[in-house]
Structure 1
Amino acid sequence: MTLQNKVAIITGASRGIGRAIAEAFVSEGAKVVLNGTNEVLLQDVCSSLNKEETRAVSVAGDASLPATAASLVEKAKNHFGQIDILVNNAGINLRKSTVDTSVDEWKRLIDINLTGTFLMCQAVIPDMIKQQGGKIVNMSSTTGKTPHHNASPAYGVSKAGINYLTMHLAKELAAHHIHVNAVCPGPIETDMSKQWSDEYRRSVLERIPLKTIGTPQQVANAVTFLASDQSDFITGETINMNGGTYMN
């Protein structure tokens, strides 16, 4: 039970990778406060995690708003008394070229992916400093390190920003024993990948040296490690999880 007695806030937790992270955390002994925009889906996740006792509560809301971040912090402290871990998983994608991306689309993507991550970090840092410890894990992407032909530049920029924010906060907060890292997944089997054509799936697999697409559970395993005491000498890292499609 690597997360026994730990309390975590997880954004974007209603499905896919976020749900897998929530399930992994609870299985390792943590209590979780979950965020997403769909209250029905959030309640479904909480119900599945609260079989024997209350291990999960939720706050529905837009992760790009300061009020949502404040509500999550308040919920964690009121229900579980502390905040040990933050996982910034909320995010959206956009598959448009530069000339086809509108200003509103650009701003919305940056707001959710990058500003939302910043706001959540900003909201939990005072409590983590007070207790002199904490783990922050940001969800980035391989696209934040190298361009991808099927992603909007706004998406890559937002993830590159998360990578820098991760390193900056790791340096700024190290004196308070707060670890900040990021995970950079490549192709993962999610609701989005289920919409791929057979031809596109084959092209994706051809580019992956391991010849397989990752799973939400594999990403959750990496996040669980970074949230646990087992990663106590790791901070400021952006860890690739892409089957070898991008290495650095």
Structure 2
Amino acid sequence: MLHGKTAIVSGATRGIGRAIALRLAQGGARLVLNGTRADLLEDVAEACRQLGAEALTVAGDVARQDTAAAVGAAAAKRFGAVDILVNNAGINTRSGTLEMAFSDWQRVLDVNLNGTLHFCRAVLPAMIARGAGSIVNVSSSAAKTPHRNAAPAYGASKAAVNYLTMHLAQEMAPHGIRVNAVCPGPVETDMTAQWPPDYRQTVLGRVPLGRLGTPEQIADVVLFLASDQSAFVTGETLNANGGSYMN
């Protein structure tokens, strides 16, 4: 599905990001992987190479504009044009509104929202010049409906990512560039594995399909949105949450 295409994936070291990298590698893409841990990034890159994909890594914090610039420059130098950008990097904080330090609020927005903007701005000029490209932002169902487990900073940042997705889709459509988002619900990750049994049952009780999603299932949605299989889809914030939120 992605043979001959180059994809950037941020936040690729573990969980959903790692699954996305591997799925795009299976799809035939060349990969430029970003994350804050160089050692974990190299592990993912090697796993992608075992699948037959070319992969390089650029470590750095997505909240910094120079990280996005470095990733874009490395991709252009090694592979030429960037066809796909997956903005997956994100963080959360569990503090409530009154307990939350403002620095925590700012950090979540810097990573989740500003990081997405930095990477989009790094790749869009070349995509515009080529008249093609696909951007997939990993958002959250917390962007669409509040729940107690999502801190205000996280939900607000992801709601802003959804708006940015729709705005860019409209702005970039004349240039042949599609911009979409996937909004996962509860997914099996290292974090959810630490949930107490009673809380886990509470979460499962809110999911009509009766189970948590897997990183691989979210990666499948990203692959669809990144590929030409979704050539007539843009500006969507696609739910992938087992029915826990429907619209």
Q: Which bin holds the TM-score, normalised by the shorter protein? A: over 0.9
Query: How many percent of aligned residue pairs carry the same amino acid?
Result: 56
User: Aligned ranges for residues 142-153 of structure 1 at < 5 Å?
Assistant: 142-153=141-152
The two structures, once aligned, show a CA RMSD in angstroms of 0.9
Please list the CA deviations of residues 181-212 of structure 1 after superposition, one character each: whole Å capped at 9, or x if unmatched.
Answer: 00000000011111111111111111100001
What does residue 131 of structure 2 align with? Answer: 132
Q: Which amino acid aligns with 1:33?
A: V
Q: What's the CA shift for 1:49?
A: 1.6
SS of equivalent to 1:50? helix
**1: CA distance between counterparts of 2:141 and 2:220?**
18
Please list the CA deviations of residues 145-165 of structure 1 after superposition, one character each: whole Å capped at 9, or x if unmatched.
Answer: 111111210101000000000
TM-score by length of 1: 0.98
**1: CA distance between counterparts of 2:42 and 2:152?**
34
User: Aligned ranges for residues 46-195 of structure 1 at < 5 Å?
Assistant: 46-51=45-50, 55-195=54-194
Q: What's the CA shift for 1:51?
A: 3.0
How many residues are paired up?
A: 247
Q: What's the CA shift for 1:46?
A: 1.0
* Cα pair distance change 1:244/1:72, threshold 3 Å: same
SS of equivalent to 1:245? coil
What does residue 227 of structure 2 align with? Answer: 228
TM-score by length of 2: 0.98
SS of equivalent to 2:212? coil
**Worse overlay, 43-52 or 110-119:** 43-52
What does residue 238 of structure 2 align with? Answer: 239
Q: Which runs of 5+ in 2 are unaligned?
A: none
* Cα pair distance change 1:138/1:52, threshold 3 Å: closer
Please list the CA deviations of residues 104-159 of structure 1 after superposition, one character each: whole Å capped at 9, or x if unmatched.
Answer: 00000000000000111011000100110000000110000111111210101000
SS of equivalent to 1:230? helix
Q: Which runs of 5+ in 1 are unaligned?
A: none
Question: Which 4+ runs in 1 deviate beyond 4 A?
Answer: none
Q: What's the CA shift for 1:88?
A: 0.2
**2: CA distance between counterparts of 1:52 and 1:244?**
32
**2: CA distance between counterparts of 1:48 and 1:9?**
16
What does residue 17 of structure 2 align with? Answer: 18
Q: Which amino acid aligns with 1:119?
A: H
Q: What's the CA shift for 1:247?
A: 0.4
Q: What's the CA shift for 1:52?
A: 7.4
The answer to whether the 8 A contact 1:96-1:150 is kept is no
**Worse overlay, 166-175 or 74-83:** 74-83
**2: CA distance between counterparts of 1:181 and 1:230?**
13
Q: Which amino acid aligns with 2:46?
A: S
